């Protein structure tokens, strides 16, 4: 494999890693409702 092919593979892997990071970040920060049931009763929190 020549050097350009190696650079291409590295660039593609970096782009995939960045894209996956952005996707996970956005999924974690989506607004939503969290419902917890515990000893203190029912708790509803809006994120």
Domain count, the chain: 1
In percent, how much of the chain has pLDDT > 90? 57
Rounded CA-CA distance 9/12 in Å is 5
Rounded CA-CA distance 47/19 in Å is 24
pLDDT above 90 for 34: no
CA-based angle 31:25:17, to the nearest 5? Answer: 155
Quote the pLDDT of residue 15.
97
The CB-side HSE value for 15 (13 A sphere, CA atoms) comes to 6
Supply the range of the domain harboring residue 29: 3-43
Q: Is the pTM of this model over 0.85?
A: no
């Amino acid at each position: 494999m020549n050097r350009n092919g190696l650079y291409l593979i590295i660039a593609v892997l970096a782009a995939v890693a960045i894209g996956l990071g952005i996707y996970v970040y956005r999924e974690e920060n989506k607004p939503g409702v969290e419902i917890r049931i515990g000893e203190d009763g029912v708790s509803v929190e809006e994120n």
